[in-house]
A and B are shown apart, each in its own frame.
Chain A
Amino acid sequence: MTIEIKNLNVYFNEKTKLQAVNNLSFNVKKGEIMGLVGESGCGKSLTSLSIMRLLGKNASLTGEINFLGENILNLSKKEMGSLRGKEISMIFQEPLTALNPLHRVGKQISEILKIHTSLSKKEIKVKTLDLMQEVNLKDLENTYKKFPHELSGGQRQRIIIAMAIACEPKLIIADEPTTALDVSTQAQIIDLLKEINNKKHNSLLFISHDLDLVGDLCHRIAIMYAGHIIEVIEDLKDAKHPYTKCLLDAIPNPLHKGNELYSIPGRVPTLAERESGCPFAGRCPIAKERCHKILPELLEREDRHLLRCLYV
């Protein structure tokens, strides 16, 4: 088990205690690609930022995040700093903002090695070029000297990935890494992530709003809605929860051209609007009165299929 999250809660605002993430529990095993999907505002990015301990001071966390058996919520700032980038690393959505525009990209990769390893300058340069080769960048010496704005979106994301794998971390968190990219570039980056995972057996927590993409890439998928995990499945075909099914139906499907698209009635409740019952009750096609009062447990129904619903 690389990382295990137990009953994670994230609150904002001291007075009103707005809860953005409710009792979140899941784990990522060694070498596993775990997907975390949901619509915007469901708390998926907050989860990743909690793992990295990058949330602002106005957020308070309760629960446990056990990384290799140690609760990282108890670590000091300094200990956390030595973990970040070395044991846990992160790939962000927008590679242009994640890179420093004033430094050459090669230098930015070597910076990680300089901080976390005791290699000499020469060794760092060699290792950096190796890393760039590993993420399939071409014309290494030249690219090393380039600034982020001189590279294409796909190349930039490759640089970010090279930085993320520099210290061979046990866990990589990829937060919407391909949302800013075109389909064909996206396919290349996804292949690269798969290849790295195959070769290095690191764990990957892949966060996205794109169900199709997550379905293709991940071994296991957790679906989030309004701060709760509502379903954990291995294959999207087995989806049982009404929300997951609604989401899948809302994707334009080439086979149903001409019909009206299915759309979920209503909208995602805001933080202040969330009620005590099942978070999806207000929009669910099969909700009954009980759903509005009782929050169902996330239970294992079949082999490795977790579900949070009273009526499925």
Chain B
Amino acid sequence: MENILEIKNLKKSFGSSNFFKVKDSKAAVDNISFEIKKGEIFGLVGESGCGKSTTGNLISKLLSVDSGEIIYNGKNICGLKGRDLKEMRKNIQMIFQDPYHSLNPKKNIGWILMEPFIIHNLYSKDDRRKKILDMLEIAGFDESFLSKYPSELSGGQRQRVAILAALMCEPDFVIADEAVSALDVSVQAQILNFMKKLQKKMGLTYLFISHDLNVIYYMCDRIAVMKEGKIIEINEAEKLYLNPKHPYTKSLLAAIPGKKAR
């Protein structure tokens, strides 16, 4: 299978520097390389502060790269600007952790789902409406939903709206940054099933970022483990879970509660 995304020697440092102080920077992402194949769910797991979210933000160009290459569909997207960047952002979408913050509280669901079309100037008015209704049906919502506001929805419904909004422009590649961490288990299960269903239906590729190894293992085909900005182990999900090589991966797996109950 061909690679949709290749990351080569990616680096990003953050540091404080001001008039009085010389820059002392710390590498949040330190020379990482991996590739993601078309149609797979790639998991990125690690403790907080290990650089997994920074990696996601670098790929979606919410942050600029210090050095290294991000090759998306055979093209380096690091230096993109203007119209090309906008075109790329249509194809690479993000789902964020907290649906309470990622949806505009002053706009109704219809507007939230319409916004991507307006930004990218896609389709005619009738087509837009039809597309939105199609998407709503996939999520199991009816038309009356369009006039509701985010505050009227439950956490799970909000996250589904956030996912739909990300998928409106039919992207190829979706970065889910802790997309289920803020949800209860029963809602989490709904959202995970929903994301898998959409992936099959629309042929998506996911970069699934999470700190929860159970969730990552359940969702992903391949998993990369990050620690202090470096990737320390990449393997297929089964192999990594059943036969971890790196001592850090072993300790992470050992720390998961609930081994006793099963």
Q: Report the bound CA distance from A254 to B155 in whole Å.
A: 25
Within 8 A of A (CB), among B99-124: none
Interface 1/0 per residue, B43-58 and A, CB below 8 Å: 0000110000000000
9 contacts between A and B (CB under 8 A): A39-B186, A184-B252, A186-B255, A215-B261, A217-B257, A235-B261, A247-B185, A263-B190, A264-B189
Q: Which residues of B contact A236 (CB under 8 A)?
A: 261
Q: Which residues of A contact B215 (CB under 8 A)?
A: 252
**Chain B min CB distance to A95 (Å):** 14
Cβ of B257 and Cβ of A257 under 8 Å apart? no
Asked if A183 CB lies within 8 Å of chain B CBs, one says: yes
Cβ of A254 and Cβ of B214 under 8 Å apart? yes
Across the two chains, which residue of chain A brings its CB closest to B220?
A: A257
Across the two chains, which residue of chain B brings its CB closest to A40?
A: B184
- Contacting B251 at CB < 8 Å: which of A184, A213, A215, A257? A184
Interface 1/0 per residue, B199-213 and A, CB below 8 Å: 000000000000111
Within 8 A of B (CB), among A177-191: 182-187, 190
Asked if B83 CB lies within 8 Å of chain A CBs, one says: no
Across the two chains, which residue of chain A brings its CB closest to B259?
A: A216
Q: Report the bound CA distance from A119 to B257 in whole Å.
A: 40
Q: Which residues of B contact A255 (CB under 8 A)?
A: 262
Within 8 A of A (CB), among B244-262: 251-252, 254-262
Cβ of B261 and Cβ of A183 under 8 Å apart? no
Q: Which residues of A contact B196 (CB under 8 A)?
A: 260
User: Count of A-B contacts with CB under 8 A?
Assistant: 104
Q: How many residues of A contact B (CB 8 A)?
A: 38
Q: Report the bound CA distance from A264 to B154 in whole Å.
A: 15
Cβ of A182 and Cβ of B214 under 8 Å apart? no
Given A215-B261, A252-B192, A267-B154, 5 further pairs, Cβ under 8 A? A187-B257, A216-B259, A263-B186, A263-B189, A267-B187
**Chain B min CB distance to A258 (Å):** 9
Cβ of A216 and Cβ of B241 under 8 Å apart? no
Across the two chains, which residue of chain A brings its CB closest to B242?
A: A254
Give 9 nearest A-B pairs by CB, closest first: A212-B258, A252-B218, A263-B189, A187-B255, A250-B189, A182-B47, A39-B184, A213-B257, A261-B189
Asked if A211 CB lies within 8 Å of chain B CBs, one says: yes
Q: How many residues of B contact A (CB 8 A)?
A: 38
Q: Report the bound CA distance from A163 to B218 in whole Å.
A: 39
Across the two chains, which residue of chain A brings its CB closest to B215?
A: A252
Q: Which residues of A contact B186 (CB under 8 A)?
A: 39, 246-247, 250, 263-264
Q: Report the bound CA distance from A156 to B209 in whole Å.
A: 26
Q: Which residues of B contact A26 (CB under 8 A)?
A: none
Q: Which residues of B contact A185 (CB under 8 A)?
A: 47
- Contacting A252 at CB < 8 Å: which of B48, B155, B184, B217? B217
Asked if B156 CB lies within 8 Å of chain A CBs, one says: yes
Whether A251 touches B241, Cβ cut-off 8 Å, given contacts A183-B255, A190-B257, A267-B156, is no
Across the two chains, which residue of chain B brings its CB closest to A209?
A: B184
Q: Which residues of B contact A253 (CB under 8 A)?
A: 214, 218, 262
Q: Which residues of A contact B235 (CB under 8 A)?
A: none
